[in-house]
Structure 1
Amino acid sequence: MTETLTDPMALEDAVTLPTYAKPPVALVRGDGTRVWDVDGAEYLDFYGGHCVALLGHCPPRVVEAIRRQAGELLFYSNAVYSPVRADAAQALVELAPDGLGRVFWCNSGTEANEAALKLARAFTGRSRVVAFGDGFHGRTLGALAATHGDSYHAPYRAVLPETAWVPFGWEGAVEQALADEDVAALILEPMQSMAGVTEARPAFYRAIRELCDQTGTVLIFDEVQTGVGRTGAFLYGDHVGVTPDLVTLAKSLGAGVPVGAVLVNDAIAATVKPGDQGTTFGGGMLAMAAAKATLRQLTDDGLMARAAELFDRISDGLGRIEGVVEVRGRGCLIGVALDREARPVAGALRQAGVIVGTSGRADTLRLMPPLTTTDEDVDELIRRFAAVLGRGPMRDP
């Protein structure tokens, strides 16, 4: 029996399996862009718990929607119809491109990618998947097989489906890989977040759309991080004029409540029969209330346009700080390349009261602020960032 522990960090370490190397911070409260720990210390949160807090912490409209729904019907599975589920699905497809008119609800990004890969295999009758170097799609076995990196695969290699890997941004390699007639799907993050927030040329996305059309391959955009308006458009594909066959969403979709979804094109949806897919908790009432409220606020408050404004303000301010080499990304998904290792800078920023993320690139921090971030929040971030880097005055714009 585990001894009684009063420190929440020690207790969590004692009774849960380790996931991440956690900083010594135990958070208990959040409001907007701010979070507070058990000792009352306040932090400016520009990470949002892995790109989740799209509307800031405890957004009032979402909190009220959850509270109201919890008092009416806490849960029933999608074995029955539900008005709140129908309303959330309608709100989602109204924001999606034409042709993506059906939704499969689930609970997370990796579940969404699992479902998308299954749908692609069933639709094409093929088995193989092509994915991109440095891409990340989740940790369940099907999605893990499409996540690049030996460190992820090593313990499970014997049971992972085979994946063909191609370099991100190189359409010639995609063309060669899709020549295999057994390829069911091409899956990619249109903006590779863990890889340091990197994008390809717009022509690349249009080229792979054409290649998938020519070969009958299902094109899957993993927009688990880029979707729901975070980059300044509802989907990243909107920026480059490409509509995939399947789009996976999660992270921001519930503004803090776990929810995932697959947007499915009409041709694939027409082949799906009852029993082909299933989920107990996917489409649950609390998640649907949260998703509906999130999507309504996103549009009612013009937050996608605000995301673009925030990127301009953040990139301009950080770009003038000595020690910042490059600011990449769109909207509120931002990579900050430094002239030094990023992890110690993230630690120093946390000590200065700012939470940011790192990435798979040793020199790059990631910022995922809420779309509701104020100009004053940004100015405070820039001041603290400059103080932590400690390289004297800011460069002229």
Structure 2
Amino acid sequence: MSSLFQTYSRWPIDIKKAKGTVVEDQNGKTYLDFIQGIAVSNLGHCDDAVTEAVKEQLDSVWHVSNLFDNSLQEKAAAKLAEHSAGDLVFFCNSGAEANEGAIKLARKATGKTKIVTFNQSFHGRTYAGMAATGQDKIKTGFGPMLEGFHYLPYNDPSAFSTLAEEEDIAAVMLETVQGEGGVHPADPEFIAAVQTFCNEKQALLIIDEIQTGIGRTGKAFGYEHFDLKPDIITAAKGLGNGFPVGAVIGKKKLGEAFTPGSHGTTFGGNKLAMAAVNATLQTVFQPEFLQEAADKGRFLQAQLKSELTGPFVKQIRGKGLLIGIECAGPVSGIIGDLQVRGLLVLPAGPNVIRLLPPLTVSKEEITTAVSKLKEAIEAHSAVNQ
């Protein structure tokens, strides 16, 4: 009998060893890992540079709290500011904490309280994160939510007309690709409507880059695919390549809202995390690395569209190496079959297979994964005809 709260429906696979794209379970079976900790290990498991940086820091100092200067934080913040639309950074421990901080920052900086988010969005499991999330299943059983959130249809430019008379709007909070909501990339017309609405309402624009950031879409951040001017960007997942860390990146003008005592964290920005972040960003933010990730994303989509041609596959969509395969029925059985075949993938809702390979994945590994997907989907289709 487990002593763990049963908050996860776990697969009976216990990973004991991992390197790059390949993981090995407790029975010695190997898998191509197209999950990577849910878009976390963007450089692959146990990247040499990140591993060495953390090992070196382990022998120096782990944690001293944010009451002291931290040169590693300054270095990481400068990298994030250089490669984003932001100027100032607050480091925390996770994506949920980053989104929580972004909501607090937007309300305090504007003096307004209402936040606009979108149906099928996902912004975390804290109370503010749940309230911002446009999925009722995330909120069930937890009582009253934090007030002040409006939910609009995603990818519907006309939806903003319903808030034409609404005042007191502090921010719009947006994912440029809804990952947990089914892998839905934003349409350019919708993005333009978001920016126009923010300008008209003098509302801040928060871009949730927890899953799409740090090279996942082939750019440093997903919003760079569009003509967007974010005021706040949240990052986590790939930021530390597996080490728990998150960040709120904001415009310089917002610095007046986050002054001493306004927000804080005990463990956020600790030296081990910052060692991992600096080593990760040193690789990911290289232009040639981002270009290679974008090229691999296009290659993966092209391979999928070429090979998955049966009627069971309805649509293949995504950005970079965040790909969704929408199917005509439930995909849980296919995901289980793929595990037997040595490929690990995720769902994104009941009918979507989500692929999140490391940005370092090889084209040979992509070809192998697509072959396994084709076999599993064809086997499923044959049984269910």
Report the Cα distance in structure 2 between the residues aligned to 1:272 and 1:21, rounded to whole angstroms.
Answer: 38
Q: What is the deviation of 1:157?
A: 3.1
> Could you tell me whether the CA contact under 8 Å between 1:175 and 1:211 is conserved in 2?
no
> Could you tell me whether the CA contact under 8 Å between 2:177 and 2:319 is conserved in 1?
no
Q: Give yes or no for the alignment of 1:322 onto 2:309.
A: yes
> Could you tell me whether the CA contact under 8 Å between 1:322 and 1:389 is conserved in 2?
no
> Could you tell me whether the CA contact under 8 Å between 1:179 and 1:215 is conserved in 2?
no
Letter in 2 for 1:383: S
Counterpart of 1:268 (choices 239, 250, 254) is 254
In the other structure, the counterpart of 1:42 is 30
Report the Cα distance in structure 2 between the residues aligned to 1:280 and 1:326, rounded to whole angstroms.
Answer: 44
- Secondary structure class of the residue paired with 2:11: coil
Report the Cα distance in structure 1 between the residues aligned to 2:287 and 2:174, rounded to whole angstroms.
Answer: 30
> Could you tell me whether the CA contact under 8 Å between 1:340 and 1:363 is conserved in 2?
yes
Q: What is the deviation of 1:178?
A: 5.6
Q: What is the deviation of 1:65?
A: 0.4
Counterpart of 1:83 (choices 71, 75, 86) is 71
Runs of 4+ deviating beyond 4 Å? none
Q: What is the deviation of 1:334?
A: 0.6
In the other structure, the counterpart of 2:122 is 136
Counterpart of 1:344 (choices 312, 317, 333) is 333
Report the Cα distance in structure 2 between the residues aligned to 1:348 and 1:322, rounded to whole angstroms.
Answer: 19
Counterpart of 1:368 (choices 352, 356, 378) is 356
Letter in 2 for 1:32: G
Q: What is the deviation of 1:338?
A: 2.4
- Secondary structure class of the residue paired with 1:68: helix
Q: What is the deviation of 1:84?
A: 1.2
Between 247-256 and 295-304, the greater mean CA deviation after superposition: 295-304
In the other structure, the counterpart of 2:131 is 145
Deviations along 1:317-365, one digit per CA (max 9) or x if unpaired, are 22122333321011111101224321111111011110000012x2210
- Secondary structure class of the residue paired with 2:31: strand
> Could you tell me whether the CA contact under 8 Å between 2:220 and 2:285 is conserved in 1?
no
Q: Give yes or no for the alignment of 1:389 onto 2:384.
A: no
Report the Cα distance in structure 2 between the residues aligned to 1:36 and 1:208, rounded to whole angstroms.
Answer: 44
Report the Cα distance in structure 1 between the residues aligned to 2:201 and 2:39, rounded to whole angstroms.
Answer: 34
Tell me how many residue pairs correspond in the alignment.
377
Report the Cα distance in structure 1 between the residues aligned to 2:372 and 2:145, rounded to whole angstroms.
Answer: 47
Q: Give yes or no for the alignment of 1:183 onto 2:183.
A: no
Q: Which runs of 5+ in 1 are unaligned?
A: 1-9, 393-397
Report the Cα distance in structure 2 between the residues aligned to 1:171 and 1:387, rounded to whole angstroms.
Answer: 39
Q: What is the deviation of 1:201?
A: 1.6
In the other structure, the counterpart of 1:4 is none
Matches within 5 A, 1:1-397: 14-97=2-85, 100-177=86-163, 179-300=165-286, 302-319=288-305, 320-323=307-310, 324-360=313-349, 362-390=350-378
Q: What is the deviation of 1:303?
A: 2.2
TM-score normalised to structure 2 length: 0.94
Report the Cα distance in structure 2 between the residues aligned to 1:237 and 1:384, rounded to whole angstroms.
Answer: 32
TM-score normalised to structure 1 length: 0.91
Between 112-121 and 157-166, the greater mean CA deviation after superposition: 157-166
> Could you tell me whether the CA contact under 8 Å between 2:109 and 2:256 is conserved in 1?
no
Between 177-186 and 81-90, the greater mean CA deviation after superposition: 177-186
Report the Cα distance in structure 1 between the residues aligned to 2:219 and 2:31, rounded to whole angstroms.
Answer: 28
Between 302-311 and 106-115, the greater mean CA deviation after superposition: 302-311
In the other structure, the counterpart of 2:383 is none
Report the Cα distance in structure 2 between the residues aligned to 1:371 and 1:364, rounded to whole angstroms.
Answer: 21
- Secondary structure class of the residue paired with 1:158: coil
Letter in 1 for 2:114: R
Percent of aligned positions with the same letter in both sequences? 36
- Secondary structure class of the residue paired with 1:155: coil
Deviations along 1:273-302, one digit per CA (max 9) or x if unpaired, are 211111111111011010110000113472
Deviations along 1:214-243, one digit per CA (max 9) or x if unpaired, are 212111111100011110111111100212
RMSD: 1.6
> Could you tell me whether the CA contact under 8 Å between 2:131 and 2:145 is conserved in 1?
no
In the other structure, the counterpart of 1:3 is none
Letter in 1 for 2:229: T
Letter in 1 for 2:309: E
Between 83-92 and 177-186, the greater mean CA deviation after superposition: 177-186
- Secondary structure class of the residue paired with 1:78: coil
Q: What is the deviation of 1:211?
A: 1.4
Q: What is the deviation of 1:159?
A: 4.3
Deviations along 1:94-114, one digit per CA (max 9) or x if unpaired, are 1113xx110011110110000
> Could you tell me whether the CA contact under 8 Å between 1:136 and 1:148 is conserved in 2?
yes
Q: What is the deviation of 1:391?
A: 6.1
